Structure 1
Amino acid sequence: MTDASLLVDQRSASLTASEQDVKAWASGRRVFVSSLITDMPQERSAVRAAIETIGATPVMFEDLGPLDVSADQAYLAGVRSSEVYIGMWGPRYGVRMSDGYSATHAEYREAERNGLRLCLFVHGEASGEMDGAQRDLIQGARNLYTTSSWSDPADLQQRVIRRLKDLAAEELAPWVRVGRVLFRAREITSDGRTISITADVRSDAVHAELVRLRDGRASGVAFASPTEALSVQLAELSTRTISTIAHEERLTLVAQERRSSHMRTALNGISADEVARRALSDGLFGTSTLGEQARWLARPTDPLAPLRGSGFDDSVLRPIARLLFTEQLITDGSAARIDSFALGPAHQGARRLQATWTPPQIYVNEPDPARLSIDGTVTGL
């Protein structure tokens, strides 16, 4: 799938979005605010102001009118209708609901399950008075994500604004792969046959490789974006040199004839989707869930192999890891879409990886396939 000698435009990770672009990204976007309401009234007001400052819509329990559903169901419905989750965790865990979790813990779990972007803030650990359940919640989250502290409501407000702007910049400039080069695109348009990309490339090596692909008129070049993976030819490339370290690139890619679907076979009562899931788990986590009987049918699959030992910063590693993961599953016919992908921070050389995807529909009239997921530890990233 991927040439091991990737050329990555690492400087493009520092791209920021303009205020106008941030406003456009935020318009209509819902941001769920989770905390103990009685413990953090000032913090909640500050976070509301931060969300409204960038033009998004805060989703807060205080704003809910009378509903004919239980309070805990109203909380979770608010999470599911949002794109971003902001959790503010203090010393208290909160009252447990019927499912055994506090409202904030249940909201966090629902946000994870539905693939929301997470912004986690922790306060009060130094007091030594943190509930045991709250400490467990925070430590569990830190095994997968990075948290931030805050000193006062004003500081929290500014941290939330910065985090939301960072999310906007990530989504407004998605990573793409053309052959063995990876860079962030400013804009992608596709009609299924022709793909146009505009990007600000800050790596001379990446620029030179794009020129080589154009001049060589190579066909069968692998292309991947956050939602698409196919074989293309780089038909056109025009460059405007902005400075000695920056090139504005305009690419036109022409999709090649799509290959026939990969053969996907069930084995001894194990569905084809499950065989593919186990192959992915074994390749990524070093497990042996396929078993000896299945090894002739499916081999362990590791879409992140080109990134092992790369030493990339997390701002580069995480989006590229998701891109390569998406490309692998779409290319081999295992997934119609990736629903969530979370690669945690490194702890002693290991990272927790959680991902969920929806398999392709085989027949038009059949129900939507059940989502599949993996959860394990990867090393070397």
Structure 2
Amino acid sequence: MDNVALLIDQRSASLAASEEDVRAWAAGRRVFVSSLITDMPDERAEVRRAIESVGATAVMFEDLGAQDISAEQAYLSGVRSSEIYVGMWGSRYGVRMPDGYSATHAEFLEAERDGLRLCLFVHGETGGDMDGPQRDLIQGTRNLYTTSPWSDPADLGRRVRRRLEELAAEELAPWGRVGRTLFRVREITNDGKTISLTAAVRSDAVHAELVRLRDNRSGGVPFAAPHTALPVQIVELSTRTVSTIGHEERLTLVTQEQRGSSMRASINGLSADEVFQRALSDGLFGTSTLRQQMGWLARPIDPLEPLRGLGLDDSVVRPVARLLFTERLITEQAASRIDSFTLGPSHQGGRRLRASWTPPQVYVNEPDPAAVSIDGTVSGL
């Protein structure tokens, strides 16, 4: 699987969601707004308007009301109840709380730990009067994530709305894999035996490969979606060609029996989950933690090998990397679900990858297994 030459429909990453779809996506979604309140009243008002204009709920400290908990607990509770974090950082760090962090810094760390989607904005760097701790926070964050500037409150509001629309488009049309093709999928229906999906494919190479798989009646074709990975056979493919580069595809797939994993065994005192975690870390990050324990028996696992050296844009590499990561862990029966996956921007040839997952239960009546996580730098993406 690692050495398969993938066909990726990169043009489909630019597909935008309609205003109606964005509002449907945003309904009930909470967006936490983090900044120094007294320093940015106009910015906060514009960001609130931007969030509410797409139909989401702005979570702001000034709206939390009287509560019988500390201000610090209220801040962090607001973060934990949200799905998206908008951080606006100016020149001042803010007053340190008992834990040593300012409120905005603590909120960012909580959002990062909880896996919220991060939207980070920075202003006031050119004046030369930025607090030292604030500069350290911004520079450290940029080693992992991309930040955006803003010129005035109205500009910030426009940037926040545009980012929310981008997140909506990304989640409304997730990526899928059929064989060695990867493309964005509009809709997936799965009854456990038959999978139906629709997609707007904008790559002739991807379309031709789907036709080949259909005509050859290929069985055991890998299929992966955000929460599913299993072998399938394409039994039907109908295409409506809407332009010289556009194909409306409708596929019907029949699921096939999955083979068991060879990794679910304790070895040399390591549990099956520890063996897989080390094999995954060694394959992704180039370490040798498993080899130290198992010697020549060590088998590193790198789900992202097919992506290395392709130079994909961020809008493609992030969702595709998550899809391949999820597929490998589910296929290897190492995870029942992926709890978080964060791939940072490219920095000096590497990207920080952090992920956590929940292993499958061995026995029905046992508690949920403890989550497993990895954290390191991947190169070549």
Same fold (TM over 0.5): yes
**1:260 lines up with 2:260 in the alignment:** yes
User: What is the CA deviation profile of residues 95-122 of structure 1, one whole-angstrom value per residue up to 9, with x for unaligned ones?
Assistant: 2222222111111111111111110000
**2:217 corresponds to:** 217
**2:202 corresponds to:** 202
SS at match of 2:367: coil
> Please, which moves more after superposition, 368-377 or 180-189?
368-377
**1:20 lines up with 2:15 in the alignment:** no
> Please, which moves more after superposition, 162-171 or 80-89?
80-89
Residue type at the aligned position of 1:189: T
The answer to whether the 8 Å contact 1:203/1:246 transfers is: yes
User: What is the CA deviation profile of residues 251-273 of structure 1, one whole-angstrom value per residue up to 9, with x for unaligned ones?
Assistant: 11111012235452223443221
SS at match of 2:163: helix
**1:289 corresponds to:** 289
> Please, which moves more after superposition, 133-142 or 47-56?
133-142
**1:153 corresponds to:** 153
Aligned-partner Cα distance in 2 for 1:359–1:102 = 36
Residue type at the aligned position of 2:234: L
SS at match of 1:229: strand
Give the TM-score taking structure 1 as reference length. Answer: 0.97
Stretches of structure 1 that go unaligned for 5 or more consecutive residues are none
Aligned-partner Cα distance in 2 for 1:149–1:345 = 16
Residue type at the aligned position of 2:310: S
SS at match of 1:146: coil
Alpha-carbon offset, residue 306 of structure 1? 0.4
SS at match of 1:301: coil
Aligned-partner Cα distance in 2 for 1:295–1:213 = 40
Residue type at the aligned position of 2:369: P
Alpha-carbon offset, residue 292 of structure 1? 3.3
Aligned-partner Cα distance in 2 for 1:2–1:248 = 29
Give the TM-score taking structure 2 as reference length. Answer: 0.97
The answer to whether the 8 Å contact 2:263/2:332 transfers is: no
SS at match of 1:290: helix
Stretches of structure 2 that go unaligned for 5 or more consecutive residues are none
Residue type at the aligned position of 2:368: D
Matches within 5 A, 1:85-234: 85-234=85-234
User: What is the CA deviation profile of residues 37-83 of structure 1, one whole-angstrom value per residue up to 9, with x for unaligned ones?
Assistant: 11111111110000000000111111112112221111111111111
The answer to whether the 8 Å contact 2:3/2:305 transfers is: no
Alpha-carbon offset, residue 155 of structure 1? 0.2
> RMSD over aligned Cα, in angstroms?
1.3
**1:31 corresponds to:** 31
Residue type at the aligned position of 2:197: I
Aligned-partner Cα distance in 2 for 1:44–1:261 = 51
Which 4+ residue blocks in structure 1 deviate beyond 6 angstroms? Answer: none
Question: How many residues are paired up?
Answer: 381
SS at match of 1:291: helix
**2:352 corresponds to:** 352
**1:77 corresponds to:** 77
The answer to whether the 8 Å contact 1:3/1:180 transfers is: no
The answer to whether the 8 Å contact 2:263/2:272 transfers is: no
Aligned-partner Cα distance in 2 for 1:70–1:234 = 57
SS at match of 1:326: helix
